[in-house]
Structure 1
Amino acid sequence: MHRLVPILAVLLLSCPVLAEDADLASLFTQADREGTLVLSSLRTGETIVHDDARAQRRFSPASTFKIFNTLIALDAKAIAGADDRFIWDGRHHDIPDWNRDQTLASAFKVSCVWCYQVLAQRVGAETYREAIRRAGYGTLSEPFALTELWLDGSLRIGAIEQIDFIKQVVRRTLPLSSHAYDTLGDIMVVEQTPDWTLRAKTGWSVRSTPSVGWYVGYVETHDDTWIFAMNLALKDRADLPLRAALTRDALRVKGIID
């Protein structure tokens, strides 16, 4: 038993303390939405959270998986770079932006599902299986549909796990090519100012009730990098802007962006 005490102490010290934050809670109360938001400093390890229980709960990543999917596809040489093109086959999609040829950069920006399904066919199931396992990216149920795994609930991940994954991306600790990391960094940029750069990806999991909206990414400032992951229950399409809006409000409240 005495031998277990130092082991337990090490485990406790190695686990981040997630402080329930009143400022973040107030933002969700004002929006009248159920959700979670996690912010974590890459430099200090400080991690603050609203709704720790939900932050641990796994959901389909939806289009936030495009962050990892892009890295995997580039590393596997399933696509060469940001300007490589996908040729639209003429099939109509409900989202007008999808009904045209795309580059990798534009496909990422408009969350073009058919483009990433093309990439999935090129990458193959075993490459995904191994990459997801190696990164600790949530859980992947077997068997899974290759072109639907990030949409149909086969792949599930929590906000805390998203934070851990993005930290690996920023630190470049996953065994992937520099070209993959560089290209992803370019196409993830949402906004740049003299003081900070915001990189992020939205997601919307519509195959659950209620549907789940995601916003995942990071902000680089002069002296730190803050990782964020949020998800919330959406009532309808009109709620979609809340994903980025609540996150930006939280980053402002905490003095990370202006």
Structure 2
Amino acid sequence: MPTLLISIFLLCFSLFAYAEEVAIAQLFSKAGIDGTVLIESANTGQRFVHNNARSKHAFTPASTFKVLNTLIALDEDVIAAAGAIIPWNGTQFEITDWNHDQTLESAFKVSCVWCYQELARRVGAVKYPAYLHQAHYGQLRQPFNGTEFWLDGSLTISAEQQVAFLKQVVKRSLPYQTSSYDTLKTIMLAETTPHYRLYAKTGWATRSTPGVGWYVGYVEVAEDAWLFALNLDTRNAADLPLRKQIALDSLRAKGILPANRVTR
């Protein structure tokens, strides 16, 4: 009898888990878009993945590289803190939020490409391969352009590698200064509620067809942090809101974030 009860419990649990995975798959299906999302507990290693094959496929990281690039720039002392100024040289960009002096925090928030290219110049291209190797951050093709490599396809990374890197960030296991980790956490904070804190970064690789949209980060809840990395094909800018929407809805489907309340 105990064996039978255990078997029934495991069957019910499997059916429930399967239903949840179907719920995540339906998020991509409803949007009519191909992609992957990987979610993992920093404490227990429990993980959920949609489209396992794609989660191992490497894509251009685009602006998600700003997470590691921030740590590098701070540790190299090429910028001092979240409020340090990066002066604008007057070049006009299509994204109007870029057309003025930036702080490190504002540059991260508005995903300012020219700002992080300036920081990369200050760091120097020769230093990046060692930093990438140390963090096990994707694959870098040589030779590479020191201010373009995270945009032009020279550097690629998978969703699985993004999550492994983020786990090192959360656990602070890479040899960066405490102040560097503290500053990154300050500027990476995207949302805070009484129940959770969301730390995240978007990315959009546009130099391929289709483009690739990213949303990566982690959610602090109770005594755990849940890491996540989503990438999906993008047909045009209209698909960009799907990055955050599908990632957060996937976290809700797994019960990590509270379900959206329905108001009447």
Q: Secondary structure at the match of 2:146?
A: coil
CA distance in structure 1 between the partners assigned to 2:127 and 2:170 by the alignment: 21
TM-score, normalised via structure 2 length: 0.89
CA distance in structure 2 between the partners assigned to 1:175 and 1:81 by the alignment: 18
Provide the identity percentage. 55
2:144 alignment counterpart: 144
CA distance in structure 1 between the partners assigned to 2:127 and 2:21 by the alignment: 39
| Distance apart, 1:126 and its partner CA | 2.5
Q: Secondary structure at the match of 2:152?
A: coil
Gaps of 5+ in 1: 1-18
1:116-142 per-residue CA deviation (whole Å, 9 max, x = no partner) reads 011001101222111101111010011
CA distance in structure 1 between the partners assigned to 2:176 and 2:57 by the alignment: 28
* Structure 2 residue 97 is matched with structure 1 residue 97: yes
2:224 partner letter: D
1:211 partner letter: G
Gaps of 5+ in 2: 1-17, 259-264
Task: Give aligned pairs, total.
Answer: 240
1:3 alignment counterpart: none
* Structure 2 residue 135 is matched with structure 1 residue 135: yes
| Distance apart, 1:27 and its partner CA | 1.1
* Structure 2 residue 168 is matched with structure 1 residue 168: yes
| Distance apart, 1:72 and its partner CA | 0.5
* Structure 2 residue 22 is matched with structure 1 residue 32: no
TM-score, normalised via structure 1 length: 0.91
* Structure 2 residue 177 is matched with structure 1 residue 177: yes
2:261 alignment counterpart: none
Structure-to-structure mapping, 1:8-27, within 5 angstroms: 21-27=21-27
| Distance apart, 1:21 and its partner CA | 2.5
1:61-112 per-residue CA deviation (whole Å, 9 max, x = no partner) reads 0000000000000011010000000111111111111111100000000010
CA distance in structure 2 between the partners assigned to 1:115 and 1:216 by the alignment: 20
CA distance in structure 1 between the partners assigned to 2:195 and 2:223 by the alignment: 10
| Distance apart, 1:250 and its partner CA | 0.8
| Distance apart, 1:40 and its partner CA | 0.3
| Distance apart, 1:195 and its partner CA | 1.2
1:248 alignment counterpart: 248
CA distance in structure 2 between the partners assigned to 1:21 and 1:252 by the alignment: 12
Aligned Cα root-mean-square deviation (Å): 1.1
CA distance in structure 1 between the partners assigned to 2:23 and 2:41 by the alignment: 17
Where in structure 1 do 4 or more consecutive aligned residues deviate above 4 Å? none
2:232 alignment counterpart: 232
CA distance in structure 1 between the partners assigned to 2:27 and 2:94 by the alignment: 32
Q: Secondary structure at the match of 1:203?
A: strand
